[in-house]
Homo-oligomer: A and B are copies of this chain.
Amino acid sequence: MRILVTGAAGMIGRKLIARLARDGRLRGEKITALDLHDIVPPQAPDMPGVEISPHTGDLAAGGAAERLVASRPDVIFHLAGIVSGEAEANFDLGYRVNLDGTRALFDAVRLAGFKPRLVFTSSIAVFGAPFPDVIPDTFHPTPLTSYGTQKLVGEALLADYTRRGFFDGIGIRLPTICVRPGKPNKAASGFFSGIIREPLAGQEAILPVPRSVVHTHASPRSAVNFLIHAAGIDGDAVGPRRNLSMPGVAVSVGEQIEALERVAGAEVVKLIREEPDATIWAIVKGWPTRFDAKRSKELGFFAETSFDDIIRAHIEDELGGKIAG
């Protein structure tokens, strides 16, 4: 079993690779080789006896994708991409990396003529307001960002290339990943993780939107579970509609904070400071809230069932089981 991971240096890429290293197997088969690609040098995991090939560079550059798939991996996890804020700030870079890079990879696989399972991380950013209360699987994607547009194009190509038999693709639309580890960032969605992560680390967090804002979350651990499950799922059972909204926990910000209090206590919650930010709220208003995700659940994808579990996953996976304070 040979596996290629693009975006291998990113947060989800690193967690996926750590999981693959821990499992040593995918789809019941022993992992023998791992191709890791990113724009910066990806870190090689400690996997004795497994051939690890790091690749660094721009996937959209001439010949890069061809070289990357020359090893004919059995499973490709295509996670590479630049994030929403960056794709919005830099039009050319976003289209180059997220659209041209994805198309280059898909075409390289097509032209090489092998037929791997290809798992593509899309995003709920393919959707744009207004929404029904619960977004059904049949709701139309009308993105309100260039990032969402680029993901939608990737989805469309993935479905057509799969239908054509060039590869066996599964697109998974990730909800907001929470609690995102690491430092606070300037992303408009950053506070969803920040109001949990910073207080658990004994630090103050800013809440820029009303507590009534509802959003869907899944833990980084669930994101990796989605990827692993997508790698093994029966393509015939999926049928021609290859892009699936993943399950998640839909909660209001107020419910996030209540869960934090249940898990970590009232003192921790006091570190959240409300500081309304009209700009951030205007952006967040355009985001989807709740998903039906009926198809993905029927196909065996699962996430946490409560926000308490999402917080506990963070404490276990990132804080060694301990809360500061």
Contact = CB atoms under 8 A, between A and B. Distances in A.
Contacts of A142: 159, 240-241
Interface stretch (A133-141, A190-198, A218-226, A229-237): A133-141
Interface residues of A, number: 22
A153 B154 CA distance: 9
A266 B159 CA distance: 46
Which of A149, A157, A159, A163 has the largest count of B CB atoms less than 10 A from its CB?
A149
Q: Quick one: which of A149, A152, A159, A160 has the most chain B CB within 10 A? A: A160
Interface in A137-192: 137-144, 146, 149, 152-153, 156-157, 159-160, 163-164
A149 B153 CA distance: 9
A169 to B, nearest CB: 13
A146 B164 contact: yes
A272 to B, nearest CB: 33
- Identical chains in the assembly: 2
Nearest to A141: B140
Contacts of A144: 163, 240
B146 A160 contact: yes
Contacts of A160: 143, 146, 149
A54 interface: no
A36 B29 CA distance: 58
A177 B254 CA distance: 53
Contacts of A240: 128, 142, 144
Contacts of A140: 137-141
Contact of A156 (B91, B138, B156, B241): B156
Contacts of A91: 164
18 contacts: A91-B164, A128-B240, A128-B241, A137-B140, A138-B139, A139-B140, A141-B141, A142-B240, A142-B241, A143-B159, A144-B163, A149-B156, A149-B157, A149-B160, A153-B153, A153-B156, A153-B157, A156-B156
